[in-house]
Amino acid sequence: MHPCPFCSIAAGRGPARMIFEDDHTLVFFPLVPATLGHTLVVPRLHAPDLWAMAPTEVERLLSTALRVGAALRDHLAPEGMNLIHSAGSAASQTVFHAHVHLVPRWQGDTMGPMWPGDGAEVRDTAELDALADEMAALLFPPTPPKA
């Protein structure tokens, strides 16, 4: 098993262009950025993704991401910005320590489009309607009638 590169950075042993840190988060530029200003926001505590973290740790991570994202927008004035969290290899996660990418965007930048184009698979509307109903029931179960 390979050591976690983000844990190494948190311990002060890994290479990073550090721009901010506090008791809970680290903020640094990746060694090979996707665009100018591409930034990683990483929790100090190791967890594979957001769903493995305590809610308070997720709140701290995202609060730092919002603060850094605002600074990037003010300083670089990009045309847009992606905030990306990938969970699992099917979602393109390559470092299995939770992290958020802040990617300033400009028309025609090297990052390219995030979503499928016009040739994307069109899903069956009945399947989508059923999934919407199932998720609504999971998130907001019906309340029992009052006696």
Say if CB 61 and CB 111 are below 8 A apart.
no
End-to-end CA distance of the chain: 58
pTM: 0.87
What distance in Å separates the CA atoms of residue 68 and residue 76, rounded to the nearest whole number? Answer: 12
Confidence at residue 72, expressed as pLDDT on a 0 to 100 scale: 98
Question: Residue 147: what pLDDT?
Answer: 74
CA-closest candidate to residue 43, choices 92, 89, 6: 6
The pLDDT, as a whole number, for residue 143 is: 80
What does the alpha-carbon distance between residue 2 and residue 31 come to, in Å, rounded to a whole number? 19
pLDDT tens, N- to C-terminus, the chain (147 residues): 568 999 999 999 988 999 999 999 999 999 999 999 999 999 999 999 999 999 999 999 999 999 999 999 999 999 999 999 999 998 888 999 999 999 999 999 988 887 777 667 777 888 888 989 999 999 987 787 787
**pLDDT for position 1:** 52
